[in-house]
Amino acid sequence: MKFTDGYWQIRKGMTPHYAEQVHDIEIESDAITVFAPTKKLNGRGDTLNLPLLAVHYASPMENVIQVKIVHHKGVLPRNPEFEIHQDAKTKVHISNEESHTTLTSGDLSVRIYQGENWLVEFLGKGQSLTSSGWRAIGFVDTPEGRFIHEQLNLGVGEVVYGLGERFTSFIKNGQVVDIWNEDGGTSSEQSYKNIPFYLTNRGYGVFVRQPERVSFEVASEKVERVQFSVEGEALEYFIIYGPTPKEILNRYTALTGRPALPPAWSFGLWLSTSFTTGYDEQTVTGFIDEMAKRDIPLHVFHFDCFWMKEFNWTDLQWDSRFFPDPQGMLSRLKSRGLHICVWINPYIAQRSILFDEAAKNGYLIKKPNGDIWQTDKWQAGMGIVDFTNPEACKWFSGKLRSLLGMGVDTFKTDFGERIPIDVIYHDGSDPFKMHNYYSYLYNKTVFDLLREERGEGDAIVFARSATAGGQQFPVHWGGDCTATFESMAESLRGGLSLGLSGFGFWSHDIGGFEQTASADVYKRWAAFGLLSSHSRLHGSSSYRVPWNYDEEAVNVLSKFTKLKCSLMPYLFRTAMQTREDGTPMMRAMLLEFPDDPTCEYLDLQYMLGDSLLVAPVFSHDGSVRFYVPEGRWTNLLNGNVIEGPRWAQETHEFTSLPLLVRPNSVIPIGSQTDRPDYDYSDGVTLHITHLEDGKHVKVEVPSSDGKVEAVFEVRRDGRMIHVHRRGPGKAWNVLVSGMEIVKAEASIDELSIQLKS
């Protein structure tokens, strides 16, 4: 919310109260509380009729500082709140000097100055990161209620990223962002996944631990500051030190939860019935037969909404008019090696056989007068499952468990954004705080069931809505995009923004959801989609099978699906890294190249893992402009070499795009191209590109259950490249790019390659 009218004036009807100076500091063994009056104190009489803010500083884990600003502390606590993980072993150091008091955790410090004006500075390794200064902390009485805020300074050239899956400009400077989940598609400022966390290119991130609406004015209301505010009497946030972007995300996900590792099979190609298309078992089988006939590997089949009867969503019952033998059908599909996903949401239509049962047992959200909250928007008379009720969670999970027993493997957990605030919850949760947080409980309920039934390594949802902490329940997809190059680009922006908000796995509707793409858009999107974390063909009113576009689309889809399967040793090890440290699979360029200022602004290309640069083509003529960081990069598809740092302009056929291997990389390429889950170490080929003298690369090849299967040590010593393997005695190969080989000598676990000088 904006409180000022320009820099000097206050908006009409608003009365601000700012922390003016430090009056007193209470020091505990591991925390500091600062008391700040809202005007300068010139005598004892000034302490009367005056608000006093308490600002508490502590550290839940090393290199993270917690800040809590409180005006009136007598407000009753209201659930929910974001869960955070604390390290009980965290040590802080507090120093109290005449001019300032400092609390230090690891390399991060907060320094409170005891001067004439309010000034608090955050420092990383002794260098200033940001500060809270004149009129930064305070509360404002407005016609809508009381709001409490903080403002953190931005330095010259400092840019802000994150705040969830946002389809607006990648750099958030100049934007006003409300953290409020809405079903707004990908072509608006609204977002399905609002995360009150941002990071900057100055070595720190900020997480606001408030599940309700948080308003961010990012270099907008005051262009040299980020303001964030919430309604109420208290505001809690965390400063998270890096200094690198990867380290910031590592600590943020340690605080709020790491992403789980999706099963290997989920990285293959998903095909959907699409939304409003007509289909039955014959239609589905026809698609699958045709995919096989045209040599397109298919790994997951998804049934969208109309697997259930119209006006009955969600009843979790197969529409018998079109699927008279669902268990038999699923058995037949699974015998072909397919996994099965079905669409669900937490909305129960009045005509659903589940409605009366849920209403009778108190499993639906209610109005304040005790009636079931209902609406005709989406499904006639629908109610919403109350996931604050443990019995409702068990009930809903039980209905899903029956589908798992029938042969379903996973669920597309759609919606979860249209959550009303004029309601009451079973556990008394604040409905305003629950609006965003609902998505967390919804997806957690389904994910926990899958983990219980399928095991730790085989649980995955395909979710649209999320809030902070939701990254623990992958995978998330981008929502309703349109079938254009512009929407393809905005989808990528949203995915990169979500990756910088702690989410490790992300997908999108290949070809666009709304409308039907032209053949060239579909083919370019297919290449992009199969070089994403997860890959799904899905749409609204038309089938997304490639032969509906043209024959070349079949070839493009086949090629890039096979390519992704062959890259699974590399991709799955990258996914394991995401689980371990929170680094997303699809990475904004700044994550890998934080010292290259050009990379700070790039949102039309990305790194897939740490070694592959992907630049999707967003043009009808095949032209693509992209940036190449320092070093000799090799296109994995055609062997062309580009020397960076520089901008490049190329034109690509539909079966190609810039897919560059980072210099000094060793990419493990698998032996199979027809499926994503296989023995990655058996027949693996190490693709060595431009390995410089003296370089040493360690390559871990995983098994498809998420464990390290084999380890290769690759080093160059002058004209010699030496490769040593540790692991089971299986066949393996080496491919050297950019260097001419004179001879090679090999044993079972050793390989020495002599290069031409």
* Gyration radius of the chain over CA positions: 27
Cα separation, 229 vs 3, in Å, equals: 10
| Whether the Cβ atoms of residue 616 and residue 524 lie closer than 8 Å to each other | yes
How far CA 129 is from CA of 111, 121, 198, 205, in Å, comes to: 11, 8, 14, 10
Computed from CA positions of residues 86, 91, 96, 102, in that sequence, does the dihedral angle turn out positive or negative?
A: negative
Computed from CA positions of residues 243, 247, 249, 253, in that sequence, does the dihedral angle turn out positive or negative?
A: negative
User: How many of the other CB atoms lie within 10 Å of CB of 615?
Assistant: 23
* Sheet strand arrangement including 127-132: 92-96, 100-105, 108-113, 120-124, 127-132
Selection from 439, 1, 468 nearest residue 195 by Cα = 468
Selection from 493, 492, 555, 482 nearest residue 521 by Cα = 482
Cα separation, 498 vs 234, in Å, equals: 27
Cα separation, 743 vs 754, in Å, equals: 5
Residue 477, φ and ψ in degrees, nearest 5: -125, 165
Selection from 133, 114, 138, 105 nearest residue 239 by Cα = 105
Cα three-residue angle 733-562-599, rounded to 5 degrees? 85
Cα separation, 97 vs 27, in Å, equals: 12
Cα separation, 2 vs 389, in Å, equals: 37
Longest dimension (CA), the chain: 90
Scanning the structure block, which residue is given the tokens 């004209």? 719
Q: Which residues pair with 362 in a beta bridge?
A: none
Residue 456, φ and ψ in degrees, nearest 5: -55, -40
Scanning the structure block, which residue is given the tokens 């990655």? 680
Scanning the structure block, which residue is given the tokens 């493990």? 668
Return the DSSP state at 594: T
**So which residues are the catalytic ones?**
414, 417, 480
Scanning the structure block, which residue is given the tokens 């997908």? 507
| Whether the Cβ atoms of residue 448 and residue 495 lie closer than 8 Å to each other | no
Cα separation, 631 vs 646, in Å, equals: 10
How far CA 515 is from CA of 242, 353, 511, 711, in Å, comes to: 43, 33, 9, 47
Cα 257 to the chain's mean position, in Å? 12
Cα separation, 523 vs 549, in Å, equals: 9
| Whether the Cβ atoms of residue 396 and residue 386 lie closer than 8 Å to each other | no
User: How many of the other CB atoms lie within 10 Å of CB of 757?
Assistant: 7
Residue at 310: amino acid letter = E
Cα separation, 155 vs 224, in Å, equals: 7
User: How many of the other CB atoms lie within 10 Å of CB of 331?
Assistant: 12
| Whether the Cβ atoms of residue 347 and residue 378 lie closer than 8 Å to each other | yes
SS3 content of the chain, % helix, strand, coil (to 5): 20, 35, 45
Cα separation, 434 vs 487, in Å, equals: 30
Query: Helices in 207-308 by DSSP H: which ranges?
Result: 245-256, 281-293
Q: First-to-last CA distance in the chain?
A: 65
Write the burial class of residue 76 (CB in 10 Å: 0-12 exposed, 13-18 middle, 19+ buried).
exposed
Residue at 181: amino acid letter = N
